[in-house]
Amino acid sequence: MTEESVYGVIPAYLARDAEPEASLAEGLEGSFGHAVEIPAYAETDSLFDTLGSVPEGPLGEVLIVVVLNARTNAPAAAHEANAVAREKIAALASAAEVISEAPPARLFTYPRGRLLLIDRALPGHYLPAGQGIGLARKIGCDVILRLRESGRLASPWIHATDADVRLPNDYFEQMSDVEPHFTAAAVYAFEHRFPDDEDLARAGRIFEISLRYNTLGLAWAGSPYGYEYLGSCLAIGASSYAQTGGFPRVNAIEDFTMLNDLAKLGSIQRLAGTPIELEGRISARVPVSTGRALEQLVEKKGAAAAFELHHPLVYAHLAAWLRVLGAIARRSGDLEAPLAELPRGNPFFRADLLEDVLGQIGAFEAVREAIAEPADGTMLLHRLHRSFDAFRTRELLDGLRDGGLVSLPFREALSEAPFTGLSAFPEDDLETLRRLLAAEERTLAVVPAGVPVLEVDQA
């Protein structure tokens, strides 16, 4: 039994909410230092690049949990690719051991540890309709959590990544000094690998610029939800994972949803170590993803050149609202006075628009619910930030855009934004811009994001 079990969170999750595959951990002999889950759907060469990059860990043998997955209605090409992956894993690994027949699970000896292949890509074992990568992630993470609970996983972190990455040599070491009692999760730094195809590489660089621009804008505004939402770059505290109820079983934005829930439990630590390399590629594996975004940028003529980013004023309005939330907490729940203090008659600040959008997305109702129960200032502020979460933040930004703070061409937005460091940078080279924004984002690594309290006032 682990230290986290004292609070009963992990045993309760495993008893009520874990996937049946979690019990596969009981069939694994011995102990492990670290564990990482990798969902694999229609992957071939990329998966094996990822597996080949998994490094040794400082705490002992590494367990790689690969969840091969598909639904019945997956394209024939996806089923064929899964069959190739299944066969290649068996050919490259050794000492296969049958852990389970239903679901099919095999344990292999792999160059840097052991590999558990959970096969949800065979007839009779396909993922249910409407479910996908979220369920695949949940299956893998639940196995790791069970292993941790049994006392046979030294690391308190559940590592989650994808089948199209290259992990750095210090992947596991980067978590050595992160404190799991106060940190719900950590987000690794990342860099994209771009193909030789000029159009695809241009689209990839612009898309990465958009990710970093938004993260920098959120952090500058003071949002507790200002970090990258990438399921390939996560390390989640075991007890925090259990408290969230595990990954949602959906086939899109499972990483966004998970990080949103984690940020309400503790800080999200941005890591400053060697970045994970992500493959910049077109992909239709899930409906909302980097691969889909790249596909749209490449296929729609002129889309990359006309790409737009949120107006920097959108983030300024978010910052003003977050200051209002802080004032509400300091003033024991007074909403009206902080709102009245918003600047009026300022050509660069639309208080009327801000209030309209906040009303439309239910922000005022959420505030009134939060202040209805007595709480001190600290507790109230955390309650307010939990109600105005990443989803409401996104709704506010989009609502401000649609209400009149129109988006700008990406180069103009980069120059005008006070948080990019590019106001005096004249060049338009996309690779240079991407690298400068990456460097700017790395400066945030010393400041954890997220609501910085664990298990405080779960209202």
Contacts of 304 (CB under 8 A, 6+ apart): 199, 202, 203, 206, 297, 298
Give backbone dihedrals phi and psi of 172, rounded to 5 degrees, phi first. -80, -35
Residues 196, 204: contact at Cβ < 8 Å?
Answer: no
Q: What's residue 291's pLDDT?
A: 56
The H or E element that residue 439 is part of is: helix 430-442
Rounded CA separation 445/108 (Å): 36
CA distances 428 to 202, 410, 422, 424, Å, are: 12, 11, 11, 12
Give backbone dihedrals phi and psi of 375, rounded to 5 degrees, phi first. -165, 150
Q: What's residue 447's pLDDT?
A: 66
Q: What's residue 178's pLDDT?
A: 94
- Tell me the β-bridge partners of 109: 94, 114
Q: What's residue 1's pLDDT?
A: 44
Q: What's residue 326's pLDDT?
A: 95
- And the tokens for 395? 């709704």
Per-residue pLDDT tens digits of the chain, which is 459 residues long: 455 554 689 999 999 999 999 999 999 999 999 999 999 999 989 999 999 999 999 999 999 999 999 999 999 999 999 999 999 999 887 778 999 999 999 999 988 789 999 999 999 999 999 899 999 999 999 999 999 999 999 999 999 999 999 999 999 999 999 988 889 999 999 998 887 778 888 888 888 999 999 999 999 999 999 999 999 999 999 999 999 999 999 888 899 999 999 999 999 999 989 999 998 655 555 554 555 555 665 566 555 667 899 999 999 999 999 999 999 999 888 899 999 999 988 889 999 999 999 999 999 999 999 999 888 989 999 999 999 999 999 999 999 999 999 999 999 999 999 999 998 777 778 899 999 999 999 988 766 777 644 333 333
Return the amino acid letter for 290. T
Q: Strand, helix or coil at 106?
A: strand
Q: What's residue 295's pLDDT?
A: 61
Residue-by-residue DSSP string for 256-277? HHHHHHHHTTSEEEEP-SSPEE
Q: What's residue 89's pLDDT?
A: 93
Report the 10 Å Cβ neighbour count for 40.
Answer: 30
Domain 3-299 sits in CATH 3.90.550.10: yes
Rounded CA separation 255/264 (Å): 15
End-to-end CA distance of the chain: 29
Q: What's residue 299's pLDDT?
A: 62
Q: Which is it for the CA torsion 310, 311, 317, 323, positive or negative?
A: positive
Residue with token string 């996104």: 394
Q: What's residue 94's pLDDT?
A: 76
- And the tokens for 210? 């958009």
With 0.85 as the threshold, say if the pTM is over it: yes
* Nearest-10 crossing angle of helices 390-403, 254-263: 110
